[in-house]
Amino acid sequence: MAMPLQISDLEVRAGRRMLLTVAELSAPAGALIGIRGPSGAGKSTFLHALSGLIEARGRLCWGEVDLPRLRPERRTAFRARNMGLIFQDFLLFEELSPQDNAGLSGLFKPRRNREAIGARAAKALARLGVPEGTRTVGSFSGGERQRVAIARALATDPGLLLADEPTASLDRRAADALIEDLTGLARAGGKTLIAVSHDTHLLERLDRVLTIEDGQVTEDTGVQAA
Amino acid sequence: MRDSWDSLPVLAQDLIIAGALLLPLLVIGGVLMRGFRPLPLVRALMWRFRWANLLFILLIAVSTGMGIGLIAQERGLRIGSAQAAEKFDLVVTAPGSELTMMLAAVFLQPSAVPLLDGVAYDRIANHPQVQIAAPIAFGDSHDGAPVVGTITDFVTYLSDGRIEGRIFARSGEAVVGAAIDLQIGDRFTPAHGRGSGADAEAHEGVEIEVVGRMARSGSPWDRAILIPVETVWEVHGLANGHTFEEGDRIGPPFTPELFPGTPAVIVHAGELWANYALRSEFTVAGETMAFFPGTVLADLYRVMGDVRQAMSVMSIVTQVLVAASVLLGLFILTRLFQRQLAMLRALGAPRRFVMAVVWGYGVTLLVAGTALGLAFGYAAALVLSRIVTQRTDILVTASITWAEVNLALGFLSAMSLLSLVPALVVLTRPVVENLRQ
Amino acid sequence: MKHLLAALLLMTTPVLAEEGHDHDEPAHAFEIGGLEILHPWTNATDHDHALLFMDLHNEGAAPVEILGARLDSGVEGQLVGFRMKGGEMGFETLPPIPVAPGRQLALAPDGLAIRFDGLEAVLEEGHHWEVILLTSAGELEIDVVIEAEDARQHGHAGHSH
Render pLDDT for B38-51 as a digit per residue (tens, 0 to 9): 999 999 999 999 99
C14 vs B contacts (CB less than 8 Å): 95, 285-286, 289
Peptide bond into A110 cis (omega under 30): no
Max Cα–Cα distance, chain B, nearest Å: 109
Strands A83-86 and A160-164: parallel
Task: Give pLDDT tens digits for B79-107.
Answer: 888 888 888 989 999 998 999 999 999 99
Mean pLDDT of B423-435: 84
At a CB cut-off of 8 Å and minimum separation 6, what does A207 contact? A31, A32, A33, A222
> Residue A121: its chain B contacts at CB < 8 A?
none
Beta bridge partners of B116: B262
CA distance A173 to A180: 11
The radius of gyration of chain A's CA atoms, rounded to the nearest angstrom, is 17
User: Among B79, B280, B299, whose Cβ lies nearest the Cβ of C104?
Assistant: B280
Q: Are B267 and B130 in contact (CB under 8 A)?
A: yes
Q: What pLDDT score was predicted for residue A223?
A: 63
The pLDDT value recorded for residue A134 is 64
Between C9 and B202, whose confidence is greater? B202
Q: Domain coordinates of chain A in residue numbers?
A: 30-53+76-225
DSSP state, residue A69: G
d(CA B234, CA B205): 12
Domain map of chain B by residue range? Answer: 9-83+300-436, 90-291
Q: Is the per-residue pLDDT at B378 higher than 80?
A: yes
- Work out the mean pLDDT of chain B and round it to a whole number: 89
For chain A, give the number of residues.
226
Asked if B295 lies within 8 A of C9 by C-beta distance, the reply is: no
- The verdict on a CB contact (< 8 Å) between C84 and B85 is yes
| Total count of residues recorded for chain B | 437
Burial (0-12, 13-18, 19+ Cβ within 10 Å), B224: buried
CB-based contacts of B318: which residues, under 8 Å, 6+ apart?
Answer: B63, B66, B67
H/E run at residue A194: strand A192-196
**Residues forming a β-bridge with C139:** C134
3-state secondary structure of B110: coil
Residue type, A226: A
C72-85 pLDDT, tens digit each: 888 999 999 988 77
Least confident of B66-75, B155-164, B385-394, C8-17: C8-17
The order of strands in the sheet holding A208-213 is A65-66, A57-62, A5-14, A17-27, A216-220, A208-213, A32-36, A192-196, A160-164, A83-86
Q: Say how far apart CA B94 and CA B113 lie, in whole Å.
A: 8
The answer on pLDDT for B364 being more than 90 is yes
DSSP states of B270-310: SSHHHHHHHHHHH-BTTTBEEE-HHHHHHHHHHHHHHHHHH
Of B41, B47, B346, the CB nearest to A85: B346
Among chain A, residues having any CB pair with chain B shorter than 8 Å are 44, 48, 51, 53-54, 73, 76-81, 83, 85, 87, 91, 93-96, 100, 104-108, 110-111, 114, 152, 156
CA B395, B399, B402, B403 dihedral sign is positive
User: ipTM of the predicted structure?
Assistant: 0.90
Confidence class of residue C22 from pLDDT cuts 50, 70 and 90?
A: very low
Torsion (CA) B116, B117, B120, B126 in degrees, nearest 10? 110
**What's the number of CA atoms in the CB half-sphere (13 Å) around residue B60?**
28
Q: Judge contact between B164 and B188, C-beta under 8 A.
A: no
Q: What is the pLDDT of residue B113?
A: 85
User: Which domains occur in chain C, in start order?
Assistant: 2-147 (2.60.40.1890)
Distance CA B236, CA B240 (A): 10
Question: Do residues B164 and B183 make contact, with C-beta atoms less than 8 angstroms apart?
Answer: no
Q: Among residues of chain C, what percentage have pLDDT more than 70?
A: 80
Residue B299 banded pLDDT, cuts 50, 70, 90: confident
Q: Give residue B315's pLDDT band: very low, low, confident or very high (50, 70, 90).
A: confident
The answer, yes or no, to whether C and A have at least 3 beta-carbon pairs within 8 Å is no
What is the 3 state secondary structure string of B302-327? HHHHHHHHHHHHHHHHHHHHHHHHHH
> What is the pLDDT, as a whole number, of residue C27?
53
How far apart CA C48 and CA C81 sit, in angstroms, is 19
**What is A124-177 written as a DSSP string?**
HHHHTTPPPSS--GGG--HHHHHHHHHHHHHTT--SEEEEESTTTTS-HHHHHH
Of A85, A95, A96, the CB nearest to B347: A85
Write the pLDDT tens digit of every residue in C105-149: 889 888 899 999 988 888 889 888 999 999 998 999 999 999 988
Going by pLDDT thresholds of 50, 70 and 90, the confidence category of residue C17 is very low
Please give the full DSSP string across B183-244, using - where no structure is assigned. -TT-EE-PEESSGGG-BTTTTTT--EEEEEEEPP-SSGGGG-EEEEHHHHHHHTT---SS-G
What pLDDT does B280 receive? Answer: 85
Q: Residue B431: pLDDT band by 50, 70, 90 thresholds?
A: confident
Residue-wise pLDDT tens digits, B236-258: 889 888 988 888 889 888 999 99
Using the beta-carbon criterion (under 8 Å), do B79 and C83 form an inter-chain contact? Answer: no
Q: Note the CATH number of domain A30-53+76-225.
A: 3.40.50.300
Position with higher pLDDT, B187 vs B322? B187
Chain B's closest residue to C102, CA to CA, is B281
Instruction: For chain A, list the contacting chains (3+ Cβ pairs, <8 Å).
Output: B
Helix (H) or strand (E) holding A78: helix A72-82
What are the mean pLDDT values of chain A's consecutive 10-residue runs (226 residues total)?
90 91 93 93 93 93 94 92 92 91 92 91 90 81 90 93 92 91 92 95 94 93 60
